[in-house]
A and B are shown apart, each in its own frame.
Chain A
Amino acid sequence: MTTPALAVAGLSVDYAGLAAVEDVTATFPAGSMTAVVGPNGAGKSTLIKAVLGLVPARRGAVRVFGQTIDQARARVAYMPQRAAVDWDFPVSAADVVAMGLYADLGPFGRMTARHRDRVAQALARTGLTDLARRPIGALSGGQQARVFLARALAQGADLYLLDEPFAAVDARTEEALVTVLKALRDEGAAVVAVHHDLAAVPRIFARVLMLNRRVVADGPVAAVFTPEAITRTYSQAPAAAPAVSAAALPLPA
Chain B
Amino acid sequence: MLWQALTLSLGYNATLVTLGAAVLGLAAGAVGAGMVLRGRALVPDALAHATLPGLAGAFLALTALGADPRNLPLLLVGGGIGAALGLAALRALTARTRLTEDTATAAVLSVAYGGGLVLLTVIQALPGGRAAGLEGFLLGSTAGMLRQDALVIGGAAMVVLLALALCWRPLTLMAFDPMQARAMGLRTAAWDAVLAILVLAVVLVGLRVAGAILIVALLVTPAVAARLVVSRAGGMAALSALIGGACGWFGAAASAAAPGLPTVAVIVLAAFAALAAAALVRGGRAWTAPS
Among the listed stretches B73-81, B99-107, B166-174, B259-267, which one makes contact with chain A, having 4 or more residues with CB under 8 Å of it? B166-174
Q: Quick check: B233 and A91 within 8 Å, CB to CB?
A: yes
Q: Is B72 an interface residue, CB under 8 A from the partner?
A: no
Which residues of B from 144 to 167 have beta carbons under 8 Å from A? 166-167
Contact partners of A88 in chain B: CB under 8 A? 288-289
Task: Using CB atoms, name the residue of chain B closest to A52.
Answer: B183
Q: How far is the CA of A222 from the CA of B236 in the complex (A)?
A: 52
Contact partners of B180 in chain A: CB under 8 A? 78-80, 99, 151
What range describes how many residues of B lie at the interface? 20 to 34
Q: How far is the CA of A78 from the CA of B39 in the complex (A)?
A: 22
One of A84, A102, A107 near B167 (C-beta < 8 A)? A107
Contact partners of A138 in chain B: CB under 8 A? 289, 291
Quick one: given A84-B177, A135-B289, are A89 and B184 in contact (CB under 8 Å)?
no
Q: Quick check: A80 and B177 within 8 Å, CB to CB?
A: yes
Q: How far is the CA of A250 from the CA of B39 in the complex (A)?
A: 43
One of A54, A91, A95, A137 near B183 (C-beta < 8 A)? A54
Contact partners of B289 in chain A: CB under 8 A? 88, 90, 135, 137-138
Q: How far is the CA of A100 from the CA of B177 in the complex (A)?
A: 11
One of A85, A103, A151 near B185 (C-beta < 8 A)? A103
- Proximity string of chain A (183-209) to chain B, C-beta cutoff 8 Å, 1 when within and 0 when not: 000000000000000000000000000
Chain A residues engaging chain B, CB cutoff 8 angstroms: 49, 52-54, 70, 73-74, 76, 78-80, 84-86, 88-92, 95-96, 99-100, 102-103, 105, 107-108, 134-135, 137-138, 151, 155, 161
Q: How far is the CA of A105 from the CA of B236 in the complex (A)?
A: 24
One of A79, A80, A86, A107 near B39 (C-beta < 8 A)? A86
Q: How far is the CA of A99 from the CA of B181 in the complex (A)?
A: 9
One of A79, A89, A100, A161 near B37 (C-beta < 8 A)? A89
Q: Is B176 an interface residue, CB under 8 A from the partner?
A: yes
Contact partners of B172 in chain A: CB under 8 A? 91
Q: Is B227 an interface residue, CB under 8 A from the partner?
A: yes
Q: Is B186 an interface residue, CB under 8 A from the partner?
A: yes
Q: How far is the CA of A203 from the CA of B173 in the complex (A)?
A: 35
Interface centre among B169, B182, B227, B230 (most CB of A within 10 A): B169
Q: How far is the CA of A86 from the CA of B40 in the complex (A)?
A: 13
Q: Is B133 an interface residue, CB under 8 A from the partner?
A: no
One of A49, A85, A108 near B176 (C-beta < 8 A)? A85
One of A52, A99, A135, A161 near B231 (C-beta < 8 A)? A135
The 9 closest A-B pairs by CB, nearest first: A138-B291, A78-B183, A137-B289, A135-B231, A88-B289, A107-B170, A103-B184, A135-B291, A52-B183
Contact partners of B185 in chain A: CB under 8 A? 70, 73-74, 102-103
Quick one: given A102-B186, A138-B291, are A89 and B181 in contact (CB under 8 Å)?
no
Q: Quick check: A84 and B37 within 8 Å, CB to CB?
A: no
Q: Quick check: B233 and A102 within 8 Å, CB to CB?
A: no
Q: How far apart are A197's CB and chain B's nearest CB, in angstroms?
A: 23
Q: How far apart are B270's CB and chain A's nearest CB, in angstroms?
A: 23
Contact partners of B175 in chain A: CB under 8 A? 89
- Proximity string of chain B (274-289) to chain A, C-beta cutoff 8 Å, 1 when within and 0 when not: 0000000000000011
Q: Is B118 an interface residue, CB under 8 A from the partner?
A: no
Q: Is B96 an interface residue, CB under 8 A from the partner?
A: no
Q: How far apart are A145's CB and chain B's nearest CB, in angstroms?
A: 14
Cβ contacts A to B, 16 pairs, < 8 Å = A52-B182, A54-B182, A73-B184, A74-B184, A88-B288, A89-B37, A89-B176, A90-B289, A91-B172, A96-B176, A102-B170, A107-B186, A108-B166, A134-B291, A151-B180, A155-B184
Q: Quick check: B231 and A90 within 8 Å, CB to CB?
A: yes
Q: How far is the CA of A107 from the CA of B191 in the complex (A)?
A: 10
Task: Using CB atoms, name the residue of chain A closest to B169.
Answer: A107
